[in-house]
């Protein structure tokens, strides 16, 4: 099967939103008047963003999910995406699974595949996603990283650290009961982009980011761009790790109890969470709760934005904790 | 140097056109009212789209040029692009050269880098480019592949086959005089996207495509999507190979004369040309000449669109030639 057959068989569908979809030099997209286009691009590389053993269906899901997560963090409604794919060889069963997982998530968010590229090379998946954000009286309604204010509450959606637990199990450095592993693996391989929450937070959140490199590292971007500091309740975050199981049921590699320190580490620096971290005025707590409910997403308050620069960690008793966490850096 | 320093040092610049550029979850772009957005994505892989020995400055140019060439083929005005980059390691001198070549071409076309991604992995460059096309009375002015009509003339811009000559020299299957090689290498490593010509052809050309996989292969897409056939004058195309030198000065590996057949092959199936192939009504010849002049691009008439399906090749005397040419397929 050649390049053009491959595209036609696995990726070409009648275009819906696009004026012109897959199959010309460019795709043509007509933005709704009075909106801005939100654009994000993520590249996934084997061995770094996914394991070679991953089910291609799940990989298709994840490749789009991490991009939709960026739209969610901007409060943008998904519109369309392009897919550039380097494949070592044409493997029809892989392509069938990959495109199925990819397009199922795309359909769930009404996000249309409008173009892209395929080539031969080491496995690499590059998606660029497009969403729209309304303008109100000429002002963008996008959630940015730069709007956090001293006094704001700090929230995180969903759960934390689970993807990291799954990774450690795959690496052989951790052993957990099967149900915990299955849950963690699902979170690592098929993260849920918080698109509905992002939309519901427009006009409420003052700043937002999606957590890909670890909570504290990504919080650092909000703090730097907003010119503020924060105090984070480490144990409120740690309580979100493996939140569907009891801590006592999770044991380490040799059956030993996992330390409080380890739980905190997974929560604060785990990476690959794809949850939204956002700030909102303390006066907007009921609106945040409403946004969480309307989008059916759990949201937890884990700290406070402060005037004083820097990041402070406290435990459940309010005692200061040392911050030795480092976020994920692809070149560190 | 970490991922974020790398982005800040080599790729972050004050945003101009974008409402929000590099450094948030998404870039925000506000399309001009009354326009459509043209979007294209191209992925370049080492060993397939470029040689490992290529000057990073030239590679930066080429990575964007092949994307701008897609905008040109749609008659779209460049606006912005995203860059996703997988690098085996952080090599500052490589990054300095790559970003310089990339941003110089971007500046020449007033095309702004608005976002992207960097990660560790086998060298891979994925650019998604955005342009705009006006709507006139609600109709898109984009040049498509599907509008060629029986009776139209068929044209190609610039020169053909030079990139293929350079590739054959690099492969050691061809030896040519140094000035010919230098010219061919420049064409392979730093193609000129025909953006100005594409813009000038709006409202004149009935169909257009950029030649990346070889003239006949790409012509096939126009014919299929327009539901027509064509006759191509093989020698008119062959005359565009190494057009800045005389044929007699180009000798093969052992100093032997290069056959007519070989010249035709380079022209018709060479690949990597990034010229525009387009059709226009015979009644619009003077308008085509004017578009060529205003964009300072040589344009040559090489054939005719016909009702009868299929592709026919003729020589300078009008004699039918066998068509044994095959276009480039990344998975063939």
Tens of pLDDT, residues B205-238: 999 999 998 999 999 999 999 999 999 999 999 9
Question: Do B75 and B201 reside in the same domain of the chain?
Answer: no
Q: What distance in Å separates residue A230's CA from the closest CA in chain B?
A: 19
Mean pLDDT for chain A overall: 90
Chain A CB within 8 Å of residue B141 CB: no
Confidence of residue A147 (pLDDT cuts 50, 70, 90): very high
A124 with B121: Cβ contact below 8 A: yes
Chain A CB within 8 Å of residue B22 CB: no
Chain B CB within 8 Å of residue A236 CB: no
Sign of the CA dihedral B18, B208, B63, B191? Answer: negative
Q: What distance in Å separates residue B176's CA from the closest CA in chain A?
A: 30
Question: Do A162 and A287 reside in the same domain of the chain?
Answer: yes
- Domain contains B265: yes
Lowest mean pLDDT among A18-22, A135-139, A159-163: A18-22
Chain A CB within 8 Å of residue B51 CB: no
CATH of the domain at B293: 3.90.650.10
Percent of chain A having pLDDT more than 70?
91
In this prediction the pTM is 0.91
Chain A CB within 8 Å of residue B185 CB: no
List Cβ neighbours of B331 (8 Å cut-off, separation of 6 or more): A1, A2, A3, A6, A87, A89, A90, A118, A120
Confidence of residue A323 (pLDDT cuts 50, 70, 90): confident
Q: What distance in Å separates residue A177's CA from the closest CA in chain B?
A: 32
Q: How far apart, in whole angstroms, are the C-alpha atoms of residue A121 and residue A297? A: 39
B74 with A24: Cβ contact below 8 A: yes
Q: How far apart, in whole angstroms, are the C-alpha atoms of residue B50 and residue B70? A: 18
List Cβ neighbours of B98 (8 Å cut-off, separation of 6 or more): B10, B56, B57, B59, B60
Residue B52's pLDDT is: 84
What pLDDT, in 10s, does the model give residues A37-56?
A: 999 999 999 988 888 889 99
- Domain contains A88: yes
Residue A259's pLDDT is: 84
Question: Do A84 and A170 reside in the same domain of the chain?
Answer: no
Chain A CB within 8 Å of residue B139 CB: no
**3-state helix/strand/coil string of chain A:** CCHHHHHHHHCCCCCCCCCECECECCEEECCCCCEEEEEEEEEEEECCCECCCCCHHHHHHHHHHHHHHHHHHHCCEEEEEEEEEEECCCCHHHHHHHHHHHHHHHHHCCCEEEEEEEEECCCEEEEEEEEEEEEECCEECCCCCCCCCCCCEEEEECCECHHHHHHHHHHCCCCCCHHHHHHHHHHHHCCCCCHHHHHHCCCCCCEEEECCCCHHHHHHHHHHHHCCEEEEEHHHHHCCECCCCCHHHCECCCCCECCHHHHHHHHHHCCCCCCEEEEECHHHHHHHHHHHHHCCCCEEEEEEEECCCEEEEECCCCCEECCCCCCCCCCC
Question: Do A171 and A124 reside in the same domain of the chain?
Answer: no
Count Cα atoms within 13 angstroms, Cβ side, for B282.
7
A70 with B25: Cβ contact below 8 A: yes
Question: Do B171 and B313 reside in the same domain of the chain?
Answer: yes
Residue A242's pLDDT is: 74
The average pLDDT across A193-222 equals 96
Interface predicted TM-score (ipTM) of this complex, two decimals: 0.88
B28 with A38: Cβ contact below 8 A: yes
Question: Where does residue B330 fall: left (phi above 0), alpha (psi -120 to 50 degrees), or beta otherwise?
Answer: alpha
Give chain A's domain count.
2
- Domain contains B285: yes
What pLDDT, in 10s, does the model give residues B117-139?
A: 999 999 999 999 999 999 988 88
Nearest to A90 among B76, B89, B331 (CB): B331
- Give the chain B residue whose CA is nearest to the CA of A133: B28
What pLDDT, in 10s, does the model give residues B304-314?
A: 999 999 999 99
Q: Which domain holds residue A235?
A: 153-321
In this predicted structure, the answer to whether residue A176 has a pLDDT above a threshold of 70 is: yes
Question: Do A165 and A79 reside in the same domain of the chain?
Answer: no
The average pLDDT across B85-103 equals 94
- Domain contains B186: yes
Chain B CB within 8 Å of residue A177 CB: no
Q: Which one of B140, B164, B185 terminates a domain?
A: B140
Confidence of residue B31 (pLDDT cuts 50, 70, 90): confident
A122 with B45: Cβ contact below 8 A: yes
Looking at chain B from residue 89 to 118, which residues have their Cβ under 8 Å from any Cβ of chain A? Answer: 89-90, 114-118
In this predicted structure, the answer to whether residue B19 has a pLDDT above a threshold of 70 is: no
In this predicted structure, the answer to whether residue B330 has a pLDDT above a threshold of 80 is: no
Lowest mean pLDDT among A250-259, B131-140, B156-165, B195-204: A250-259
What pLDDT, in 10s, does the model give residues A239-280?
A: 898 765 665 666 666 667 788 888 899 999 988 999 999 999
Nearest CA to A206 among A284, A306, A279?
A279
Q: Which residues pair with B112 in a beta bridge?
A: B80
Chain B CB within 8 Å of residue A320 CB: no
Identify all chain A residues contacting B24, using CB atoms and an 8 Å cutoff. Answer: 74, 144-146, 225
Question: Do B118 and B162 reside in the same domain of the chain?
Answer: no
Question: Do B269 and B182 reside in the same domain of the chain?
Answer: yes
- Domain contains B94: yes
Q: How many CB pairs under 8 A join A and B?
A: 229
Confidence of residue A175 (pLDDT cuts 50, 70, 90): confident
Question: Do B245 and B296 reside in the same domain of the chain?
Answer: yes
- Give the chain A residue whose CA is nearest to the CA of B120: A330
A26 with B76: Cβ contact below 8 A: yes
In this predicted structure, the answer to whether residue A202 has a pLDDT above a threshold of 80 is: yes
Question: Do A33 and A72 reside in the same domain of the chain?
Answer: yes
In this predicted structure, the answer to whether residue A158 has a pLDDT above a threshold of 70 is: yes
């Amino acid at each position: 099967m050649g390049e053009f057959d491959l595209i036609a068989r696995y990726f070409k569908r009648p275009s819906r939103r696009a004026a012109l979809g897959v199959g010309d030099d460019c795709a043509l997209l007509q933005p709704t008047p009075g909106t801005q286009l939100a654009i994000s691009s993520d590249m996934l590389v084997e061995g770094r963003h996914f394991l070679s053993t991953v089910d291609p269906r799940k990989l298709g899901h994840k490749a789009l999910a991490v991009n939709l997560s960026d739209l969610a963090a901007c409060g943008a409604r998904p519109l369309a995406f392009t897919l550039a794919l380097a494949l070592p060889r044409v493997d029809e069963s892989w392509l069938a699974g990959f495109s199925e997982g990819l397009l199922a998530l795309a359909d769930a968010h009404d996000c249309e595949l409008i173009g892209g590229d395929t080539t031969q090379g080491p496995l690499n998946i590059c998606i660029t996603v497009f969403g729209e954000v309304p303008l109100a009286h000429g002002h963008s309604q996008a959630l940015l990283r730069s709007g956090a204010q001293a006094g704001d509450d700090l929230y995180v959606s969903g759960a934390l650290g689970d993807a990291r637990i799954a990774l450690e199990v795959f690496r052989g450095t951790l052993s957990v009961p099967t149900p915990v592993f299955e849950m963690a693996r699902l979170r690592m391989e098929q993260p849920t982009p918080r698109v509905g929450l992002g939309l519901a937070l427009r006009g409420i959140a003052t700043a937002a980011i999606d957590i890909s490199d670890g909570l504290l590292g990504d919080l650092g971007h909000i703090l730097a761009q907003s010119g503020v500091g924060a105090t984070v309740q480490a144990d409120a975050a740690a309580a979100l790790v493996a939140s569907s199981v009891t801590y006592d049921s999770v044991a380490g590699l040799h059956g030993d109890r996992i330390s409080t320190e380890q739980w905190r580490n997974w929560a604060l620096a785990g990476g690959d969470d794809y949850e939204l971290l956002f700030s909102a005025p303390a006066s907007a707590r009921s609106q945040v709760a409403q946004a969480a409910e309307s989008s059916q997403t759990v949201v937890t308050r884990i700290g406070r934005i402060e005037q004083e620069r820097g990041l402070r960690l406290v435990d459940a008793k309010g005692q200061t904790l040392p911050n030795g966490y480092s976020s994920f850096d692809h070149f560190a």
